[in-house]
Each structure stands twice: as C-alpha cells, then as structure tokens.
Amino acid sequence: MKKHLKWLAIPIVLVLLVFAISQIDREELVRSVQQIPWWLLPALFTFQIVTQLFVNLQWFYISKLTGARLSFGQMFRINCHGIVYDSVTPGLKVGGEISRAMRIRETGEVSGDKAAAMVALQKLFFIATQYMVLLVAGGQLHIALYLLALPLLGAIVVVFFIPDIIHAKMTRMKQPKRRLIMRVHRIILALLDQMNSLRCNKKGLINLTLLSIFIWLLYPAKLYLLAMFFSPTITIFQITAITFTAYIIATLPLFPGGLGGFEGTMTALLVSAGYVVSDAAAATIVFRFVTFWFLLLFSLFCIGVYKIIDFRKKRGL
C-alpha cells in the first residue's frame, strides 16, 4: 500500500511543480536573475568548493578517528564518486553512501562492516547537527517539523550517550540466521564500537560536532548572500529555517537528488517570507544550481582528472 502511495505521489508532485512554474512570468524571472551582480556567481562557486573541502575534512577526520588509512586526497576522490551517486539517487541518497562504503573498504584497508559503520557515523553527525541548527534557528517553523525532529534527536542522543549499553545488549542477543540481518547486526555493532571510542575521545567528539555545525551553517550563508539582493530585510534566522526545511523535504525519496521537492519548498517559503514569486524562484534556481548542478559538474571534472592521472601512471608518463 505504501509503495503504491509513493508512486502516486510522484505524478502529483510533478503536476504541482509544473503548475507552480507556469504561474511564474518568464520575463519577470529573467529580470529577477539579472538583478544578481555578475561577481556573485563565481563567488558562490568558490564558496561551494570551500564547503565541499570542509565536508571532505569531516570525512577525513572521521577516518582518522575510526582507524581507516585514508589520506585527504583519497577521501576527496571517494567523495567525488559519492556526490555523483547522490545526484542520481532519490531522497536519502543511499547510492552515494553505498559507493563511499565500498571505496573506503577498498582504499582504506578496512572491513566492509567497519567501512559501512564509518559512513553511518558521518551520516549520524550530519543529521544530528542539521536538526540542532534547525531547532535553534527555526522559531517560525511549523510544529510538525519539531515533532519530526525531536524523535530523531532522541534516537541520536541515545546512540551518542549509551553506545556501550546498547552494544552489550546486542552482543548478548541470539545471532540472526538471515544473512542480510546478520550483516546489518554486525554493522550496527561496528558503529556502536566507533561511537564508544569516540565518546571516550572528548576532544575528537567536540571537534567533529563543531565542524559539522559549521559545515551546515555554510549552506544558509550562501542563500543569505543571494537572497539579500532581492530583500535586504530578511534575517539570517529566516534564511536558515528556509534552507533546512527545504533540505528536509528533499530527503523524501521521490526524485533524484531531491529535485522538485527542494525547489518547490524553498520557493514557497521565500514567498511566504515576503518575496515576489519571480524573485523567490530566481534565488532558488541559482542556489540550487550552485549547490547541486555545479557540485555535480565539479565532481565529474575531478573524477576525469583522476582518471587521466591514473592512465598516465599506467603508461609510465
């Protein structure tokens, strides 16, 4: 039943998206885009590359804390492949995480369970800090988002603060017979091991949390730089709430990379904040291009460069 509802939701969202686009005056949209100063786009591209380097630093830091033998450059290459898979995977972007886990296992000389646990650990930190920032900055959000965030935060807090207790209980459990369930069981145990080690490393835990919060704050900062040209009165708190709400909606597994849901949500929220529809759409389109399409093209370019380097090494050039 749920599967059928999911597929029914796709054409509904498509129709709503097409309707929303049809309501935008194209000439007004072009005029809105032309309001953006010429220097801002390369500045946003640079900002996005810097953001991605900090994300890579987070991955590299996690790899060091969990014992994987990965250099910053190796992790950057793994992440480039992960971003490409993320871009074609609906919603939660599981494809990118699977790609990262496989490449971490091969490159970092760790077991598959440990590689999967490392990916889960990064996702855990990213989701936890995303909701932390959202709850602080999102005073104007609907109560439903708080109701969604609080159980997730509660589950994350449990994993963060009592991993040893959960690990002990899972170890005493009867081993599952099904291969898939057994594999998931081992991955969870490996994740709890990593969490327990990290919990004992207070400095590493604090640094990783602060780094994750800083990375998330870079996203509304980019939108704020863009949105202020259309409405300088909008506050950074409003922009932060809008940015994170759009990203949460984008996690719904409907379209690759959250396309459609993200754009529609951000445009609607900007309009509700007082923007003209064409200005809201222009800000959303440019922001999405910088954070999604440009990042995809940049990652493909980096993968191409790595392929050329590998080819030259094989030929002895």
Tens of pLDDT, residue by residue over 91-109, are 555 667 788 888 888 887 7
User: Cα separation of 65 and 76, whole Å?
Assistant: 17
Rg for the chain, CA atoms, rounded: 21
Q: Give the chain's mean pLDDT.
A: 75
In this model, does residue 2 exceed pLDDT 50? no
In this model, does residue 85 exceed pLDDT 90? no
pLDDT level of residue 172 (50, 70, 90 thresholds): low
Of 167, 212, 213, residue with least CA distance to 193: 167
CB 64 within 8 A of CB 122: no
CB 227 within 8 A of CB 234: yes
pTM comes to: 0.77
pLDDT level of residue 222 (50, 70, 90 thresholds): very high
In this model, does residue 4 exceed pLDDT 50? no
Quote the distance between the C-alpha of residue 97 and its chain's center: 11
Tens of pLDDT, residue by residue over 55-79, are 999 999 888 877 787 899 999 999 9
User: Cα separation of 125 and 135, whole Å?
Assistant: 15
